[in-house]
Amino acid sequence: MSGIAILALVLVAGSAVAGDLADFNAAVETAASHNRVAAGYLRTGNVDLASVELDRFKDAWNTLVERFAGKPPDAFAGNPLFASTLIGVRARIVAANLMIDSRRPDSARDALTAVREDLSKLRRSSGIVLLADCVLDANKAMDTLFIFNDRKLDWAKPEIAFDIAAGAGIYGHELARCDRMASEDIKNNPEFRRLIDGALGSLRLVPKAVATHDADMLHRILIELRSFDNLLAFRFG
């Protein structure tokens, strides 16, 4: 076989592997988009619409399982988390439905939120990091920063100012990382730009609130940041 023929076979094989992973990621995103919307509706108390999206999530996930359960992309070959994640996500969907039927929307939302963790853990265990994983990291950083949403902060404790500044810095770092790793289409998406640039703009006000020990100002900044953060998770997480 000629060198050109061998090279052609290698390129075709490589494209197939890349295609399998790309197809899997696309299928996950299709399902995950319904998961995000369902969780968002549960957060705002719209249980009926959450149920509709949960059904769509279930259908999309079943389609994914039927396609990939017996033939995972090469990137996940030998990864024991692959099969357990496919099954585990199904179980979380069932649990979320049961919680909705039991009128426990917060518990249902917890089950759906855990799906993001499951999928991220699976990807990272195979050395894959997507924008959704970065958004998840940013959400966690925001959770840590939001602890300081307290108008009765004891500014006399020096660690308070340090911890707020550090938390804001970490959150800003994660947002900038998400911006860097976003595809060009997403990077130029007006909604993505509004959320990233808006959050980074709000973060630039934190040093002033800390320097002046203005808990009310910090409260307003954190509420605004939380809004950006929720929307980032809802749309791109």
The 10s digit of each residue's pLDDT in 107-147 is 999 999 999 999 999 999 999 999 999 999 999 999 999 99
> In this predicted structure, what is the pLDDT of residue 231?
93
pLDDT at 193: 96
Fold of 3-128: Four Helix Bundle (Hemerythrin (Met), subunit A) (1.20.120)
Q: How much of the chain exceeds pLDDT 70, in percent?
A: 92
Window from 11-25, 31-45, 55-69, 108-122 with minimum mean pLDDT: 11-25
Q: Where are the domains of the chain?
A: 3-128, 132-236
Q: How far apart are CA 175 and CA 207, in angstroms?
A: 17
pTM to 2 decimal places = 0.84
Instruction: State both tokens at 228.
Output: 């950006």
Q: Specify the long-range contacts of residues 137-142, CB closer than 8 Å, at least 24 apart.
A: 137/174, 137/177, 138/171, 138/174, 138/175, 138/178, 138/229, 138/232, 139/229, 139/232, 139/233, 139/237, 141/167, 141/170, 141/171, 141/173, 141/174, 142/171, 142/225, 142/226, 142/229
Asked if the domains 3-128 and 132-236 are classified in one and the same CATH topology, the answer is yes
Q: What is the 3-state secondary structure (H, E, C) of 102-155?
A: CCCHHHHHHHHHHHHHHHHHHHHHCCCCCHHHHHHHHHHHHHHHHCCCCCCCCC
What's the CATH architecture for 132-236?
Answer: Up-down Bundle (1.20)
- Tokens 């602890």 belong to 147
